[in-house]
Structure 1
Amino acid sequence: MGRVLSTLLFALCVFLGSSAAQAQTLRLITDAETQSMIRDFSAPLMKAAGIQNQNLPIYIVNDRRFNAFVIENGSMFINYGTILDSKTPNALKAVLAHEIGHLAGGHLQRLREQAEVQARVQAVSMLLGVGVLAAAAGQENREDIGRMASAFIIGASSASQNAFMAYRRSEESAADAAAISYLERTKQSPDGMLDVLTTLKNNQGLSAGASGYLGTHPLAEDRINQVQNRAASSPFRKKRDNKKDVERFELVKAKLTGFLERSQTVLNRYPNSDKSLAAKYARTIAGYRAGAGIGAIKQMEALVKASPSNPNFREMLGQMYYETGQPSKALSPLERAVELAPKEPEFRMIYALALADTGSQANVQEAIRQLKRVSATSPRSARPFAILARAYAKLGDEGQADLAAAEAALLNGDVGLARGLAKKAQKKLTKGTPAWLRSDDILSLT
């Protein structure tokens, strides 16, 4: 049973490509500016797809390759490389629409069921192969028999993959069709879908030509033909992205490039001759990342002055001040960022960090108020509780600090640590108070 289960989990990771197991091993990027843009681009598409919950989690994956996937709980994962390689907002929206098509079509459940069937086939093949190897033990020709067994395992596994990927072809084509439908319902051009498939085709290269079954997507050429036929009659074919979306998209690409690409790549893509806001943003971030803190801060101040209503510029300036050991200077831009984007929890958290690190008791109290607001609106996030523990510790309130740390541990899945911290908190809190009762709740949950 253990071998079958492990094979099933392996098959889900390798074949499905959108399993929770895979999602848990990814390196994720937390960036409010990028995630906010993706949410806003996705919302009308989800509405068009009939998905009621439009606040599903969106994660940016620290992977330069062009890829995106969704998992059964509705969480969407997008490689940062997908954003960089998307030529237009319309192309990125097409990627999002395609993944939403998988969600709306119920493909994930059916793919999981199909993966389980194929995993069982492969599990039997693996066990048979191991049986042959065991029978060969002690035989003079055991190496030959071993090679035969290995060939059998590989052959059976290949047949399993082919059957599974044949099933995926129909689902990918259905998601393409759904994506075009959602784009049209939101009065957007289907050309973005063609751009995406052309990018996929270029990325697949020669290896994709060997078989329509080898790869997590069917051959891009097949899909291009289908999409071209469908898009040709679209009344929105010639419609282009609005100026606001383009500017926002370019700034996000600049930010990701500045933080995640090599310095030379940044300069090649955004040479000093490029005076656009996005180019200045990318070069400023690249300079800051390279250690030019003072110069980067001056450049960021100039960007804030040039675009005073942009909360992301103010947050970045505050971050630079905070990370260079100037929390007091960080307060003004961060406070303004929170005012401009009051629903953005990331801004409140870094603002709270800066407040707590100024050393002022009044500021620490304000940090606690900000963090309580974040924890109320983002109850599944451990980060505000971890920062809250730090803030309470600065006030010398050990009971509340242990309780907040227990909350963070519980949300991180560390049940033992959560229980231990909750016990410590109870000893320092007044019995019967809301905080004491909450620590008791944590003990009952663990």
Structure 2
Amino acid sequence: MLRRPLPRLSAIALSLALSAPTLGQELSLELPDQATTPPTFDETPSFELPSLTHRDNQAISGEEMQLGRAWLRQFRAHAPLWQDPLAEHYLASLVARLLPYSQVGGIDPVVTLVASERLNAFAVPGGVIGVNAGLFAFAKGEAPLASVLAHELGHLSQNHYARGQQRAEQTRLPAMAAMLAGMLLAAGGGGDAGIAAAMGSQAALIQDQLAYSRRFEREADRLGLQTLANAGYDPQSMVEMFRTMQHMAALQGGNPPEFLLTHPVTESRISDAQARVAQLPVGTHHIDTTEYQMVRARALLAIHDQAPQQALTRLQRDGAPQAAQRYATALIDAQQGRTDAALSALDTLATRLPDLALLPASAAEVALDAGRVDDAIARSRRQLRLMPGYAPAEQLLGEALLQRDPGEAYRVLRELAARQPENPQVFTLLAEAAGRSGHRAWGHLARAEQLQLTGRIDRGIEQLDVAKEVAEDSGDANALARIEQRREAFVDYRETMEEFR
């Protein structure tokens, strides 16, 4: 949703898969499960250029999963988050589209959006992937954005996290803790102090690992290029993205994009990527989608929340489709109180583009933000009849039902929470719905989940204690069993999170 403006971060907002294999690339990625893995270009004749990769990659370990999820909780506790279910669902779908071609297995990815206008993304072990709103703004098409995600999947597929550990086992935990502190300080607005903390913690490791990190980058590039091509995207988009970022860095001097601070782009790296592209089979490439341009409009409007017309101007300047421009105009109308005009425009777009689930959900969001609760409920229900399981519409329906039928809201949100156990926003709404509908023990449990998901694990355990007392008083055996089960998981997370302190 567009209810949270993005803070202006003065320096590095967060570090994308840090190039020195001490934290970033050791941080991994995650997304929706895919059924079968389609064939890749590995089934075609081998390329002339030698490969730096190996084929013995395995599914991520339980330890990596636990470490990555604990890291994410620490990050959420301090970093500014861009809370937009529609954009988040789009990003998760895009990663899911790339994942079967990436040689990454055994992950159930979690996506998080960062409220920063700076160009960056990151991958964390255990299947966590994060993207700054600024990356959407920077990438003029879906393929450039996909190229960054494919590169990060390349890091994961080659186990760069585990391999980096082998190089620096003695300093791994202190380095990770210090680097996380620097990343969080910068992401929270600490600016240069955050950079100093992050870079200072790397000082003892960079000299020994620089060449190793460069090899990791090239491995990720090469795997990413194959992932892009196999998924139907033009692999040339990665090369063009690198060149554009390199040009951007030259213009910005000492304040380059965070991506380049952690993933330095050299001419030799670009040349190597270009040579790989020349050897990839040429096929039909994925055409840039109107949906991407609409999500990009949401990102631009979040960034330019004080001057939304700038977002529309940028879309026009970049040649965005007329439908995306009309979508942005409708959202601006909604923000400025012209609800009828906004809904009319969104309904017209939805009629013309019936396959875009984002459009009717956006209309329901506009209605809810304008206080038209019954309209929001009707719109969400209508969409879910046509598109069952569309999570943003379910979340909107649950939020709207809180004001009309808390019991039904509780049912809707509980089902959604079961499918999205890593979504703090859903548990926030679920806790309120449970409390309003008389499910007190489950309400405290939902609040505990929201607290632990956002890094406040001790307070979450306190809520579990309250939930247990309420469940015992009411004789709710099911709640008691669930509370005890979750306590074990909470304690495990607390122990893992101690590694970052």
Query: Smaller-chain TM-score range?
Result: 0.7 to 0.9
Aligned partner of 1:222 in structure 2 is: 268
Deviations 1:340-367 (A, max 9, x none): 4433333212201211202xxxx33322
**Cα distance in 2 between the residues matched to 1:279 and 1:218:** 34
Change in 2 beyond 3 A, CA 1:201/1:308: same
**Cα distance in 2 between the residues matched to 1:234 and 1:105:** 20
Q: In the TM superposition, what is the alpha-carbon distance from 1:441 to its structure 2 partner?
A: 5.0
Aligned partner of 2:138 in structure 1 is: 85
TM-score (norm 1): 0.75
Larger radius of gyration: 1
**Cα distance in 1 between the residues matched to 2:466 and 2:365:** 31
Aligned partner of 1:204 in structure 2 is: 249
Aligned partner of 2:327 in structure 1 is: 281
Change in 2 beyond 3 A, CA 1:267/1:439: closer
Q: In the TM superposition, what is the alpha-carbon distance from 1:164 to its structure 2 partner?
A: 3.5
The answer to whether the 8 A contact 2:120-2:131 is kept is yes
The aligned runs of 1:377-396 (5 Å cut-off) are 377-396=419-438
Change in 2 beyond 3 A, CA 1:369/1:35: same
2:292 to 242, 249, 252: 249
Deviations 1:154-211 (A, max 9, x none): 999757534443332111111111112223333542211111111221132175899x
2:478 to 419, 434, 437: 434
Change in 2 beyond 3 A, CA 1:155/1:49: closer
**Cα distance in 2 between the residues matched to 1:94 and 1:32:** 22
Change in 2 beyond 3 A, CA 1:404/1:27: closer
In structure 1, give the amino acid aligned to 2:479. A
The answer to whether the 8 A contact 1:309-1:340 is kept is no
1:339 to 377, 385, 390: 385
Aligned partner of 1:137 in structure 2 is: none
In structure 1, give the amino acid aligned to 2:82. I
Q: In the TM superposition, what is the alpha-carbon distance from 1:82 to its structure 2 partner?
A: 1.8
Change in 2 beyond 3 A, CA 1:421/1:269: same
In structure 2, give the amino acid aligned to 1:277. A
- 1:65 equivalent to 2:118? Answer yes
Unaligned runs of 5+ in 1: 1-9, 124-153
Aligned partner of 1:42 in structure 2 is: 95
Identity of aligned residues (%): 24
Q: In the TM superposition, what is the alpha-carbon distance from 1:331 to its structure 2 partner?
A: 0.9
Q: In the TM superposition, what is the alpha-carbon distance from 1:298 to its structure 2 partner?
A: 3.9
1:107 to 126, 136, 160: 160
Matched residue SS, 2:131: strand
Matched residue SS, 2:289: helix
Deviations 1:236-278 (A, max 9, x none): 2x74433xx4222222212222233242422322459988110
Matched residue SS, 2:402: helix
**Cα distance in 2 between the residues matched to 1:51 and 1:13:** 19
1:310 to 332, 356, 365: 356
**Cα distance in 2 between the residues matched to 1:407 and 1:30:** 17
The answer to whether the 8 A contact 2:448-2:461 is kept is no
Matched residue SS, 1:36: helix
Change in 2 beyond 3 A, CA 1:190/1:344: same
Matched residue SS, 2:161: helix
Aligned partner of 1:132 in structure 2 is: none
Q: In the TM superposition, what is the alpha-carbon distance from 1:324 to its structure 2 partner?
A: 1.9
The answer to whether the 8 A contact 1:91-1:193 is kept is yes
1:369 to 407, 411, 415: 411
Deviations 1:107-156 (A, max 9, x none): 12233454556779999xxxxxxxxxxxxxxxxxxxxxxxxxxxxxx999
Change in 2 beyond 3 A, CA 1:408/1:209: closer
Deviations 1:21-78 (A, max 9, x none): 7844432323343333333333343222332346411222222222222111121112
1:425 to 470, 494, 497: 470
Higher helix share: 1
The answer to whether the 8 A contact 2:107-2:127 is kept is no
TM-score (norm 2): 0.68
Report 1 or 2 for greater relative contact order, CA contacts < 8 Å, sequence distance ≥ 6.
2
2:394 to 328, 341, 348: 348
Matched residue SS, 1:65: coil
In structure 2, give the amino acid aligned to 1:364. P
Q: In the TM superposition, what is the alpha-carbon distance from 1:440 to its structure 2 partner?
A: 5.4
- 1:96 equivalent to 2:139? Answer no
The answer to whether the 8 A contact 2:452-2:460 is kept is yes
Matched residue SS, 1:343: coil
**Cα distance in 2 between the residues matched to 1:55 and 1:82:** 23
Aligned partner of 2:63 in structure 1 is: none
Aligned partner of 2:314 in structure 1 is: 269
**Cα distance in 2 between the residues matched to 1:402 and 1:155:** 41
Aligned partner of 1:320 in structure 2 is: 366
Q: Which runs of 4+ in 1 moved over 6 A?
A: 118-123, 154-157, 272-275, 443-446
Matched residue SS, 1:30: coil
The answer to whether the 8 A contact 2:471-2:480 is kept is yes
**Cα distance in 2 between the residues matched to 1:156 and 1:335:** 51
Q: How many residues align structurally?
A: 395
Aligned partner of 2:84 in structure 1 is: 31
Deviations 1:304-357 (A, max 9, x none): 344344321111111122122221111111112333443333321220121120
The answer to whether the 8 A contact 1:355-1:367 is kept is yes
Matched residue SS, 2:261: coil
Matched residue SS, 2:433: helix
In structure 2, give the amino acid aligned to 1:279. Q
Change in 2 beyond 3 A, CA 1:357/1:192: same
- 1:300 equivalent to 2:343? Answer no
Matched residue SS, 1:29: coil
Aligned partner of 1:128 in structure 2 is: none
Unaligned runs of 5+ in 2: 1-14, 28-70, 177-198, 492-501
**Cα distance in 1 between the residues matched to 2:466 and 2:175:** 45
Deviations 1:66-97 (A, max 9, x none): 22221111211122222222233222222111
In structure 2, give the amino acid aligned to 1:41. L
**Cα distance in 2 between the residues matched to 1:72 and 1:437:** 30
**Cα distance in 1 between the residues matched to 2:211 and 2:280:** 29
**Cα distance in 2 between the residues matched to 1:200 and 1:442:** 44
28-37 or 316-325: bigger deviation: 28-37
